[in-house]
Structure 1
């Protein structure tokens, strides 16, 4: 097993000790370095000191909740976040995505599913920049700089989370082509679990809020396509 200096760091924020220790044990067995904290304020401090590459973050926490933890951590620096919720609640999902979460798991979940989601998030974080600077993508008044990972609309910068950006790029590289939810889940999130379909829908809603309702077309019963204004 790699030393703790080379293993990828994951901060687990969960106030139920049995669940937290189970998650840590499974991720350690997969070769990750982990740290466990049980409340929101400690999590914010630990994220600054430990500098994890990913957070496994429960929504319901003592002190401040997981949504506020996510907001504060992401304000300091970008971190991949897998949120855990005891409720299959669309509102929780939308708020979580709005503060920078990348993916969701609803309790109860299998450890196999959790490790697959974490692995997929970290593969995305580890993607290297291309040797040559790719040209910017333009869709109407939206410009996408893939090298600097910036998006502008009418020259004003639009802040997107890492996952929102990756989803937008995936759609923009093949405009007008209809992508199924399953395709997007596999290509952007790196897994095809049926429970993730709602995550795709929620990220599309987030992009529409930030870039305008008309930028992504819903093809009912199939998926989504990026519109290209004439």
Structure 2
């Protein structure tokens, strides 16, 4: 069965080029030229992943992402202007799973899509009905839900993966290269801050309003190596 991709891009030439390339790689592509049509397609049709341009003529891509996140945890890859780090940071804060700068290499886009789809498929195969409890956190793999002190945590698919890896290695250092491969399904490239942004957002959600003055975060940065999860006392 072909994976169905929703491509939301207002540049007709680029959208057509990417759609043809993705189709040539065995993906079933649905296209939208603006945010409104993209939201409608995401709601009306079953899709496995969304490729979303930030610069759209009617609804800003980040607003489209916010509305999607209000309805679904569907994986989303952003198309961003090269060098616009602010857009990428906000995109991750809103709930993007990955990004690729424009103009993008179609081959790299396919690689990012396939890595994300493999990760999601692997999670579905390995999820069980048994809840995992670590300190004040409760993980329900079958529904991919996370609770902290009984309250639901709204995590993106990527944040959920990162947390799962860190919890499985609680108390030990997880190297950034390993965490990138295990959680995002791709290698860590030089100057790529994608993982750092996801961890920052995850840390904020776990610690927001719960830390005493001077108390370290439960996700500690081990400079030059990676990250370590410590259960709160």
Q: In the alignment, which residue of structure 1 is the partner of 2:222?
A: 219
Q: Secondary structure at the match of 1:94?
A: helix
Q: Which residue of 1 aligns with 2:139?
A: 144
Moved more, 65-74 or 202-211: 65-74
Give ranges in structure 1 of 5+ residues lacking alignment: 1-5
Deviation of 1:129 after TM superposition, in Å, equals 4.1
| Distance in 2 (alpha carbons) for counterparts of 1:81 and 1:12 | 10
The residue number in structure 2 matching 1:168 is 163
CA contact (8 A) 2:128 2:141 kept: no
Is contact 2:128-2:142 (8 Å) kept? Answer: no
Q: 2:129 aligns with which of 122, 130, 133?
A: 133
What is aligned with 1:122? 117
> Distance between the aligned counterparts of 2:82 and 2:128, measured in 1?
44
Offset at 1:169? 0.4
Give structure 1 regions of 4+ aligned residues with deviation exceeding 6 angstroms: none
Does the aligned pair in 2 maintain the 1:182–1:197 contact within 8 Å? no
Deviation at 1:23, TM superposition (A): 1.1
Q: Say if 1:67 and 1:103 are closer, same or farther in 2 by CA, change over 3 A.
A: same
**Residue 228 (structure 1) shift:** 2.2
Q: Does 1:85 align with 2:80?
A: yes
Q: Which residue of 2 aligns with 1:3?
A: none
Which secondary structure does the structure 2 equivalent of 1:126 belong to? Answer: helix
Kindly tell me the number of residue pairs found equivalent between the two proteins.
Answer: 224
What does 1:1-230 correspond to in 2, within 5 Å?
A: 6-127=1-122, 128-130=124-126, 132-138=128-134, 140-194=135-189, 197-212=192-207, 214-230=217-233
* d(CA) in 1 for partners of 2:226, 2:127: 32
Distance 1:208 1:193, change over 3 A: closer
**TM-score, length of structure 2 as denominator length:** 0.88
Contact 1:164-1:207 at 8 Å conserved across structures: yes
Shift of 1:193: 4.8
